[in-house]
Structure 1
């Protein structure tokens, strides 16, 4: 039974313009895409904010959150991913879908964030669960290097509730499914 699940590790877009479209295969790649059930909840939370927003997808992996965002009429997305294979697969998927408002960069997210930036409307933080330090450093860099503005919304997916949250970020929504916690904050 496990072999069948691994063979059919398909990621679908669950809403908007590209609803039902299947992303590139992520078989044999050690990633953990955001589950459809979680994406449904998160994008229902983001419903009134997503249209015409400028988004940053840190640790984009398969690119599912990036494509889901433009599918729901985000103006643009910057996707950061350090894995060469995933970057190439995402770029190929964007070409197949004729999506031109997602910019994909092969870069380590912390290096990208450790420079003065321009603020984004929505930021997705979904780093590998095994590295809480990476999540906490990303949050500090977002604040320190000007990546958030006073109305930015930050989505965080994690398994450890003991994460660093700046005092000026306010919790909007929080939910847990299985071991996965996911939260929306605004500055």
Structure 2
């Protein structure tokens, strides 16, 4: 393991996550996670969470720490997926499952609706639009789901029209935004 990051709040507050030293692994900064979970505070309890490009798993583990019912971590890199599993086990974080596959492959599987999805793909791969469409069209989001999107500050990802911006912020060269899925009444 090459580093550690801290869980900011909830039952696992101040717990450390072991983070493997992998090229391109970019944990969401503590300050950003704290802001995001302040925004999510009213709805996180009991939520079904999808950490689609898990990396360190910090976003999903933070959600479990703050009362989410479950979190599915999707991570194709074997060492990163193993680190997420090990952190979940060591912290006794119940409700976490790890899918060791890539996000696009995962989204081609059998869908189940999530209340909250974290969309933070490796920046160099430019997958925001494809993954957002997969989430939206594949049955992965509950009707009023929340979607967190992290991207470079100067990138405006193309997202589904049914996602409306709730809040956004910037930290250094990163833009972070929370969207609410709002389907038209039929």
**TM-score normalized by structure 2?**
0.92
Q: What's the counterpart of residue 77 of structure 1?
A: 71
CA RMSD of aligned residues (A): 1.5
Higher helix share: 1
Measure, in 2, the Cα distance between the counterparts of 1:156 and 1:178.
Answer: 16
CA contact (8 A) 2:128 2:159 kept: no
2:102 is equivalent to residue 108 of structure 1:
yes
**TM-score normalized by structure 1?**
0.91
Match of 1:117 among 95, 111, 122: 111
| Structure 2 residues without counterparts, runs of 5 or longer | 182-186
Q: What's the counterpart of residue 135 of structure 1?
A: 128
SS of alignment partner, residue 10 of structure 1: strand
CA contact (8 A) 2:20 2:79 kept: no
2:44 is equivalent to residue 44 of structure 1:
no
CA contact (8 A) 2:2 2:20 kept: no
Measure, in 1, the Cα distance between the counterparts of 2:156 and 2:122.
Answer: 15
Q: What's the counterpart of residue 184 of structure 2?
A: none
CA contact (8 A) 2:49 2:116 kept: yes
Measure, in 1, the Cα distance between the counterparts of 2:163 and 2:24.
Answer: 31
Offset, 1:142: 0.6
Match of 1:164 among 149, 153, 158: 158
Higher strand share: 2
Give CA-to-partner distance per residue, 1:23-81, whole Å, 9 cap, x none.
Answer: 11333554000000100100001010101000000110111111100100000000000
| Structure 1 residues without counterparts, runs of 5 or longer | 1-6
